[in-house]
Amino acid sequence: MAILKNWERMSKEKKILPTLRFPEFVKDGEWEENELGKCLLQKPEYGMNAPAVPFSDNLPTYLRITDISEEGKFLSAGKVSVGRKVTKNDYLTDGDIVLARTGASVGKSYKYRKRDGELVFAGFLIRVKPNPKKLDSELLFQILSTSSYWEWVQSVSVRSGQPGINGTQYANMPIDLPPRVKEQQKIASCLSSLDELIAAHNDKLEALKNHKKGLMQNLFPQEGQKEPNYRFPEFEKDGEWMEKTLGDVAELTSSKRVHLADYVKSGIPFFRGKEISELKKGIIPSDILFISEEQYSEIKDKYDVPKVGDILITAVGTLGNVYRITTDSKFYFKDGNLIWMRNISVYSSFLEILLEARKCDVLSTAIGSSQKALTMKALNELILSLPKNLCEQQKIASCLSALDELITLQSEKIKQLQQHKKGLMQGLFPKIV
C-alpha cells in the first residue's frame, strides 16, 4: 500500500509496484490507485449509542474501543452487554472491520470473526464492509497495521480538540491494491498465517509465565505457613523454613557520592535506577553517564564496588526492581537511587528470586507521600522465610532461573517473528517507483 505523504498522488509516470511479488502475479502489472469507500458494499456506518450494562448471556455483547487490543483482537475478559434492543443490522458479520473514530485510540482497527461470538458495536466505532469482489477483508486489516496507514491517521485526525476521523474521511482514504483479488487473498493469507504463528508463540509465552507463577506459589510458603506446598524430595525431611530479616542475611549499603562535575564523556558506566531496571529486563542501557577510570579505581580501593553475586534494588522512581550482578564488568551507581546488598550469607540467586516474589512486601516498606522511596532502615527489618539448607535454596533458584531462560528465549522468538513480518510487509506492499 502507498498512502503518500501530503496525501497527494505522484505523477502518473510513477509506477506502484511491490518489491516482493508471488510468481503467478509478476506479469499482472502495477497496483491500482483507489479509495476505500469505492471498495465497500456500503458507506461507513457509525455504531450504536447505548448504555453498557453488566454482561449477561441473554443480552448482546457490546464492543467498545477499550475492548480492542493493540493487535486488533477482541478482549473478551471484561466484556459487557448493551442495555437496549438491537436489530439484526446492529450485529457485526464475518469480515466486517470496525475503526475507532475519536480519542487517543483513533485509527485502531478490529476485524470481526465468528469465533468472537455475537457482537454489536459502540458509537465511537465505525464499521466498514469490504466488497469481496474488490477488496479482501483480511488484506484491508493488514493494511490497517502499516506505518503508512498510521501516518495517514496522524495527518487526518488532527483537530483543535480531540483527534478524530469521521466516516467520510475513512471513505476517502487512499489505498493501492493489486489488480486481481486473488493476489490480495494470497498476500492476506501469507500475513495472517504469520499472525497465527505469532499468536501461538504468545500463548506459549503466557503459559510459561503462568507456570512460573504457579511454581512460585508452591515453592515458597504462603502466608501463615512454615513450609511450601511442594518440596524437592531430597529436602522433604529438612523441617520448617527459618525466618530471618533481610539485614540478617545481607549487608545493606549505598554508594559514595559522585557529583555532577565528576561525569565524563566516556569511561566507567555510572548507573541510576533507570539503567538497572533496563538491565533487569535484558535491555542494553542507552544515554549512559560515565565516571573516569581513575575515580572508579579510587572508590574501589577506599570503599569497594559491586561485584558478582551482589544485589541492587531500585529505591526511588520505579521501586523494587531487583538486579543481581552476574558479570565482572566495571560499573558504579548513584547514591540514593539504589540500595546495595553485599556480603550475602544465603544463596544470592535465591535471595534475588525471593525479593521478587515478596515485591509487595518490599514496596510496603516505602516511605514518603508524593515521592515514595525505599530505605535501608526499613528493608533491614523485612522478615523473610528461607530454607535452612543452602542446597535447597540453590535448587529452587536453579529451577526458576531455567524457567526464566525459557521465557526469555520465547520472548526473543516472538520479537524475531514480529520483525520478520514487518520486513515482509515492507516488501509485499508497494512503494512508488
Q: Is the pLDDT of residue 15 over 90?
A: no
- Distance CA(308)–CA(391), nearest Å, equals 19
Q: Where are the beta strands (DSSP E) in 163-309?
A: 174-177, 242-245, 251-253, 268-271, 289-291
Q: 10 Å Cβ neighbour count for 93?
A: 12
Q: Is the pLDDT of residue 14 over 80?
A: no
What pLDDT, on a 0 to 100 scale, did the predictor assign at position 334? 93
Q: Is the pLDDT of residue 196 over 90?
A: yes
C-alpha cell, 246: 533481610
C-alpha cell, 301: 580501593
Statement: 242-386 belongs to CATH 3.90.220.20:
yes
CATH 3.90.220.20 residue window(s) in the chain:
32-177, 242-386
- Distance CA(312)–CA(254), nearest Å, equals 9
Q: Is the pLDDT of residue 6 over 50?
A: no
Q: 12-30+179-224+389-433 in CATH: which number?
A: 1.10.287.1120
Write the DSSP assignment of 159-195 as a string of letters: -SSS-B--HHHHHT-EEEE-SSHHHHHHHHHHHHHHH
Which pLDDT tens digit goes with each residue over 238-296? 999 999 999 999 999 999 999 999 999 999 999 999 999 999 888 888 889 999 999 99
Q: If you average pLDDT over every residue of the chain, what do you get?
A: 92
DSSP secondary structure letter of residue 264:
B
Q: For residue 433, what pLDDT band results from cuts at 50, 70 and 90?
A: low
Helix (H, G, I), strand (E, B) or coil at 362: helix
| Superfamily (CATH H level) for 32-177 | DNA methylase specificity domains (3.90.220.20)
Contact 270, 406 (CB under 8 A): no
Contact 36, 128 (CB under 8 A): yes
C-alpha cell, 287: 544515554
- Distance CA(91)–CA(87), nearest Å, equals 7
Contact 49, 83 (CB under 8 A): no
Q: Give the residue among 95, 84, 72, 181 at the shortest CA–CA distance from 123.
A: 84
Which pLDDT tens digit goes with each residue over 111-159? 999 999 999 999 999 999 999 999 999 999 999 999 999 999 999 998 7
What pLDDT, on a 0 to 100 scale, did the predictor assign at position 319? 94
Mean pLDDT of 15-23: 91
- Distance CA(39)–CA(26), nearest Å, equals 23
Contact 325, 310 (CB under 8 A): yes
What pLDDT, on a 0 to 100 scale, did the predictor assign at position 13? 57
Q: Give residue 102's Cα distance to chain centre.
A: 23
Q: Give the residue among 249, 220, 255, 257 at the shortest CA–CA distance from 309.
A: 249
- Distance CA(114)–CA(73), nearest Å, equals 12
CATH 1.10.287.1120 residue window(s) in the chain:
12-30+179-224+389-433
- Distance CA(353)–CA(393), nearest Å, equals 10
Mean pLDDT of 190-204: 96
DSSP secondary structure letter of residue 250:
S
- Distance CA(320)–CA(299), nearest Å, equals 26
DSSP secondary structure letter of residue 107:
T
Which pLDDT tens digit goes with each residue over 323-380? 999 999 999 999 989 999 999 999 999 999 999 999 999 999 999 988 899 999 999 9
